[in-house]
Amino acid sequence: MVIWIVGLSGSGKTTLAKIICDKLKQKMLHIDGDLVRQMYEKKLGHTTKDRLTNAGRISRLVEILSRQNINIVVSVLSIFPKWLSWNKKKIKNYFEIYLKTDLKVLKKRKPNIYSGRKKNVVGLDIKFNEPKKPDMVIKGCKNIKELKSKADIIIKKLNLN
């Protein structure tokens, strides 16, 4: 099983992924896009080109692991429709979740990212392509309690208990 969580920075992707992993007690491996970016010797920036490289790395890594029956929760921006489509074709038992959060909320939550002072910010100067036909859309979670509730719904829906 692969649970792929998509959303802008500050939407709660990593938090939701960690909650799911904690609730399932060692049944899931968590892969975070930022950690994969740091893992490789050739450091990547946040340009569209570097983001595309990282997206391919993450999708291919997850596909390889999933073929070995490793359950994975992925938390990543996923701004390239090409890679989300690739995931749906190549990864068995793939479940895509879109954490849809209003940019106004994100600006309050992550002012250091969305202040306009940084370059290559998805949602500001890099276009965010909302996922087409995700398996689940979660709108505007305001706190950890709401994310925990959504994690319970996801676990029940996917019969992961």
Which phi and psi (to 5°) does residue 103 adopt?
-60, -35
**Sequence ranges of the domains in the chain:** 2-157
The answer to whether 78 is a known catalytic residue is yes
Of these residues, 9, 75, 78, 149, which one is catalytic? 78
Which phi and psi (to 5°) does residue 31 adopt?
-120, 120
Question: pLDDT digits over 3-38, tens only?
Answer: 999 999 999 999 999 999 999 987 899 999 888 888
Residue 40 has pLDDT above 80, yes or no: no
Predicted pLDDT at 44 = 85
What is the rounded distance in angstroms from the CA atom of residue 53 to the CA atom of residue 49? Answer: 6
- Residues 123 and 114: beta-carbon distance below 8 Å: yes
Predicted pLDDT at 41 = 65
- Residues 51 and 77: beta-carbon distance below 8 Å: yes
Residue 149 has pLDDT above 90, yes or no: yes
What is the rounded distance in angstroms from the CA atom of residue 64 to the CA atom of residue 75? Answer: 17
55-64, 87-96, 110-119: lowest mean pLDDT where?
A: 110-119
Pick the CATH number of 2-157 from 3.40.50.720, 1.10.3720.10, 3.10.20.740, 3.40.50.300: 3.40.50.300
What is the rounded distance in angstroms from the CA atom of residue 151 to the CA atom of residue 66? Answer: 21
Mean pLDDT computed over 70-91: 96
